[in-house]
Amino acid sequence: MTTTAPRLGAHDAGIDTGALTRTRLAHPEQIAEAWAKRRRRHLGPGVDRLLLVAADHPARGALGVRDEPMAMASRHDLLHRLATALSRPGVDGVLGTPDILEDLLLLGLLEDKIVVGSMNRGGLAGAVFELDDRFTGYDAPALAQAGIDGGKMLCRIALDDPGTASTMVACAQAVSDLARHRLMAMVEPFWSRRDAAGRVGNLLDPDSVIRSIQVASGLGTTSAYTWLKLPVVEDMPRVLDATTLPTLLLGGDPREDPDVVFGRWNDALMHPVARGLVVGRTLLYPPDGRVADAVDVAASLVHPGK
């Protein structure tokens, strides 16, 4: 039976997080009802390039942006920034964990958007088990039931850490499960290693990225529904020549000058396997604070002429 709850909405004055909490408290069933009623924009014919806003960092405890270690701590602030980004023309959708996507859903911000759910957030930033990246978020059946378009997984490959093996097996299973539901499997691979202090770092030279591509492309029982999410590094034409899988480019280090970052994205998007961007902090937390302007530049690169 459909119940009635306070009407939610994003507006210029901000986000009413109190209304979100009241709905979660009194009417939690409305989340499933809202997924069922949502107007969907399906992946498939007519979807050639994508700009997705990423919002799955907090679930790994990764809240920092530039010199602010707790920049993403406020859910109210994050939702306001996401609402701004999703309102801009050329933004096709969002990538997030269940909690964030459900807040956006209740706010009515996922209508006619591509939605990708984040699956493995168990490799908490700085943990001794960081590379044993457990699947603690969405699974394929839950994504299919909610009408979400795909699942994203992080697959860091470190030859010096045994946690890599279990992560690879879990990612391969997720790719196969998503394919059975005909859902996009967005794999984000990195060739990684621990430094002398035990900190995990990703190797961003072209050869390391190419190695990660080859391993990620072979995960699962089929690659029919696999997309890649890759960093923009040097010699991107050679890097992207390593695959035929549709590839989205990730945002990169938010410390860099935005104009330099935008230029690199533009160059990389010239390659035929590059189908768009998945960007989080670089767009949501630009140095000048002007989220709409940063998003509009990214949209102009992914959808030129629109």
Q: What is the DSSP string of 40-81?
A: B--SSTT---EEEEEE-SGGGT---BTTBTTTT--HHHHHHH
**What pLDDT does 247 receive?**
98
**What pLDDT does 45 receive?**
79
Instruction: Return the amino acid letter for 21.
Output: T
**What pLDDT does 43 receive?**
86
**What pLDDT does 3 receive?**
41
Q: Which two tokens stand for residue 7?
A: 């009407």
For residues 219-233, give the mean pLDDT.
98
**What pLDDT does 6 receive?**
43
State the sign of the Cα–Cα–Cα–Cα dihedral 237, 239, 243, 245: negative
Q: Is residue 133 predicted with pLDDT exceeding 80?
A: yes
Task: Output the CA–CA distances (angstroms, integers) from residue 97 to 14, 86, 148, in the order listed.
Answer: 21, 16, 12
* Residue 59 · residue 123 · CB < 8 Å: no
CA 175 and chain centroid, separation: 16
Reported as a pLDDT band with limits 50, 70 and 90, residue 256 is: confident
Q: Which two tokens stand for residue 187?
A: 């794999």
Task: Output the CA–CA distances (angstroms, integers) from residue 277 to 52, 90, 133, in the order listed.
Answer: 6, 11, 24
**What pLDDT does 258 receive?**
84
In CATH, which of 3.40.50.1820, 3.20.20.70, 3.40.605.10, 3.90.550.10 is domain 43-302?
A: 3.20.20.70
State pTM to two decimals.
0.93
How far is 192 from 11, CA to CA, in rounded Å? Answer: 42
How do residues 135-180 score in pLDDT, each as one tens digit? 999 999 999 999 999 999 999 999 999 999 999 999 999 999 999 9
**What pLDDT does 11 receive?**
43
How far is 64 from 67, CA to CA, in rounded Å? Answer: 7
For residues 242-249, give the mean pLDDT.
98
Q: Where are the domains of the chain?
A: 43-302
Reported as a pLDDT band with limits 50, 70 and 90, residue 253 is: low
How do residues 83-131 score in pLDDT, each as one tens digit? 999 999 999 999 999 999 999 999 999 999 999 999 999 999 999 999 9
**What pLDDT does 71 receive?**
93
Q: Is residue 42 predicted with pLDDT exceeding 50?
A: yes
Q: Which residues pair with 40 in a beta bridge?
A: 113
For residues 6-29, give the mean pLDDT.
77
- Dihedral (Cα; 89, 118, 275, 91), 10-degree rounding: 0
Q: How much of the chain exceeds pLDDT 90, in percent?
A: 87
**What pLDDT does 257 receive?**
84
How far is 86 from 112, CA to CA, in rounded Å? Answer: 11
Reported as a pLDDT band with limits 50, 70 and 90, residue 2 is: very low
Task: Output the CA–CA distances (angstroms, integers) from residue 133 to 123, 129, 221, 238, in the order listed.
Answer: 4, 7, 20, 29
Q: Is residue 10 predicted with pLDDT exceeding 90?
A: no
* Residue 127 · residue 114 · CB < 8 Å: no
Q: What is the mean pLDDT of the chain?
A: 93
Q: Are strands 247-250 and 200-202 parallel, antiparallel or unpaired?
A: unpaired
How do residues 191-220 score in pLDDT, each as one tens digit? 999 999 999 999 999 999 999 999 999 999
**What pLDDT does 294 receive?**
95
Residue with tokens 């939610």: 8
